[in-house]
Chains A and B, each alone.
Chain A
Amino acid sequence: MGSHHSDRRRFLTDAALASMAVGTVGSAAAQTPAPTPATPAARLKETLAYGQPSRFETTGRKALGAGSPINDTALTTPLQDLDGIITPSGLHFLMDHVNGIPDIDPKQHKLLVHGFVARPLTFTLDELKRFPSVSKVYFLECNANSRPLRGPNGDSVQLVHGRTSCSEWTGVLLSTLLKEVGPRDDAKWIVAEGGESNKYTMSMPLAKAMDDILVAYAQNGEPVRPHNGYPLRLVVPGWEAIRSVKWLTRIAVVDTPAMSWHEAGNNADTAPGGRALGFRFELGPKSVITRPSGGQRLPGRGFYEITGLAWTGGGLVRRVDVSVDGGKTYREAQLQEPVLPMAHTRFRFAWEWTGEEAILQSRCTDEKGEVQPTIAEAAQVLGVTPDYFMQADHFNGIQPWKVNRDGSIQNALF
């Protein structure tokens, strides 16, 4: 294996991942502040070269599930601690299907575009940056996000819904590159491959590639972070994020999908009638109240601004409605500008807590007219029981949070 192995890229250690994953379920205040550097000068040196949050801020990503060397690693975004619509890059969720994060030298990185094309080409990163670029704000959401979770993992918005994040991505439209190589008339699909140890592959229809897929080199104004695909990744707007191949090395233009393990086997959901569903792309309308939310505690009766995020693969969020009585009545929430297609949209809703029990939940309607379902409605459409969604993908059900008389808040989905 020596010679085979020697040319493989180096990987960050699992210890680095583990150190990011510390923390316990519950409120944001569970972690202790970092130790203070010895002197003010040392403190300046530590924080100025690349600014860090105040040492009094303790938010961070949290690992979901027990994890093992051969299970996927999931680190979740602390949605309850964030404002606006942009996820800080260091808090972007991570759902890793590989044994470590590639440590790629951008000077050595080349993107190969080939297959059913007139002119196969390789591009260095510098060459890619010479193309006309675009910057777009898009969410990325794991297809497994929001699975109903029982027990401690179901306590907080972070662990249940924190596998969605939203960034400003900058890069070249994939259509620009494809026009350079000239797809043949019989080309129907692309297969994108990443630079991980196991060379993760995903297939997408050529029509999507020619529409809005982005080959991104920047995230929130700086190079894409290593765990998000440095130095180059796909961003496939509105679709399950498993399609947005990180550490992008190769795009093959082909006539059929690859039916790779992560798209055909591992990512298929079983369904009634003995079927397995694969190749479901677009994420549905979804919203969730991030404050107040599970694990938090209201300090007393009085005014609260309920706030949360809504998003949809269908384009623009058209409206969000909020209920404080478990869905008996809804009133329209205020959408915070900017409202952008296939991006997180912030909503706000004024609420006076009387000290009585209340169930807070939100409902998203998108520009295609699709409405976020309750778990019961979703189960009815698919012909399953609600428990089905604990193991299924693409669940976009309404999330109720129950406010108890003592101000404590808990997940009230089940």
Chain B
Amino acid sequence: MIQKGRFEAVKTSGLATAIFFVASASALAQGPTYRFGTTPSAEEIKARDTAVSPLGRELPPGRGGVKEGADVYATKCASCHGPNGTGTMLHRGLVPLGNAKPLKMEGSLVPYATTLWDFINRAMPWFTPGTMPPDEVYAVTAYVLFINDVIKETEVLDAATLPRVRMPNRDSFVGVELDWKPGQRRPLGHYPTRALTP
């Protein structure tokens, strides 16, 4: 009854991109009712569709390695995050997950490397977000993954290699309600609650 989808569950069809532009017959059959709105151009959609999901199919061309990433980090990140990733909100190394204080760490509490790339791309640097070209985002992602002991110093990240990076604690993540249905009860044991009598 209680669905406990692991984050792994999102690794679905690689055909998704291929079928992206092929609308299903049933959806077409159900026409619009009000006919408000404007059809956006493919360019407008592409320009605005920047969120990167675990499959990485939205990743742009570009590449970057740990060494270039260290330079980008020193220039654009160290003023807040400290030298070598030792400062606020960015921590070095892996911390085992447990029941102590949750530690929001890139190496420990991020299930996919794409999550990191996406957040750096959209939200960093904090005061001028979205200003780094893809090469720099790939590079600084590689650097952060390197100082968190996730990848080797020689590795280079791009649209093909980034989604293949396996975050150390991915299997420890539980997507509690990935299979949510209307009306279902909150799964016991995943929320602070009072034990329900059967």
Contacts and interface: CB of A to CB of B under 8 A. Distances in A.
B1 interface: no
A4 interface: yes
Contacts of A270: 97-103, 109
Interface of A: 1, 4-5, 8, 68-70, 99, 112, 114-123, 127-128, 130-131, 176, 179-186, 191, 193, 197-199, 201, 205, 207-208, 211, 249-250, 252, 254-261, 264-266, 268-272, 274-282, 284, 314, 368-374, 377-384, 388-392, 394-397
Given A268-B109, A391-B101, A392-B102, A260 B189 contact: no
A279 B27 contact: no
A5 B125 CA distance: 12
Nearest to B188: A381
B120 to A, nearest CB: 9
A246 B188 CA distance: 30
Contacts of A383: 99
B131 A392 contact: no
Contacts of A117: 23, 27
Nearest to B32: A180
Given A70-B88, A122-B40, A261-B119, A199 B110 contact: no
B131 to A, nearest CB: 4
B102 A8 contact: no
B177 A279 contact: yes
Nearest to A270: B102
Contacts of B175: 257, 278-279
Given A256-B54, A281-B180, 12 more contacts: A186-B16, A199-B129, A207-B182, A259-B10, A268-B173, A272-B98, A277-B176, A278-B176, A280-B191, A377-B194, A378-B192, A390-B101
A49 B133 CA distance: 47
Closest 10 CB pairs of A and B: A198-B123, A378-B192, A261-B119, A373-B194, A121-B37, A256-B10, A182-B27, A279-B175, A265-B110, A118-B23
A127 B39 CA distance: 13
B43 interface: no
B74 interface: no
A180 B27 contact: no
Contacts of B114: 259
B115 A275 contact: no
A182 B35 CA distance: 12
A131 B36 contact: yes
A207 B179 CA distance: 10
B87 to A, nearest CB: 10
Contacts, number: 282
Give the secondary structure class of B's interface. loop
A373 B33 contact: no
B24 to A, nearest CB: 5
A381 B195 contact: yes
Interface stretch (B44-52, B59-67, B141-149): B44-52
Contact of A276 (B30, B100, B169): B169
B20 A116 contact: yes
Nearest to A375: B192
B40 A183 contact: no
Contact of B45 (A120, A180, A191, A272): A120
Given A70-B89, A182-B23, A257-B178, A276 B97 contact: yes
Interface in B74-133: 80, 88-89, 96-104, 106, 109-112, 114-116, 118-119, 122-123, 126-131
Contact of A394 (B24, B89, B192): B192
Residue among B101, B122, B181 with the most chain A CB within 10 A?
B122
B23 A184 contact: yes
Contact of A265 (B31, B50, B115, B174): B115
Contacts of A275: 97, 172-174
Contact of A381 (B7, B35, B174, B192): B192
A26 B176 CA distance: 38
A207 B128 contact: no
B154 interface: no
A259 B115 contact: yes
A177 to B, nearest CB: 8
A97 B50 CA distance: 19
Contacts of B26: 185
A70 B80 contact: yes
A397 B192 contact: yes
B130 A180 contact: no
Given A112-B45, A254-B53, A282-B186, A381 B194 contact: yes
A179 B31 CA distance: 8
Given A260-B118, A378-B194, A274 B98 contact: yes
A137 B178 CA distance: 27
B19 A370 contact: no
A314 B183 CA distance: 8
28 contacts: A68-B88, A69-B126, A114-B49, A121-B37, A122-B40, A123-B38, A180-B37, A182-B27, A191-B51, A197-B129, A199-B51, A201-B51, A205-B178, A252-B51, A264-B111, A265-B111, A268-B109, A274-B97, A275-B97, A275-B172, A276-B111, A277-B190, A281-B177, A284-B186, A284-B192, A284-B193, A379-B192, A396-B192
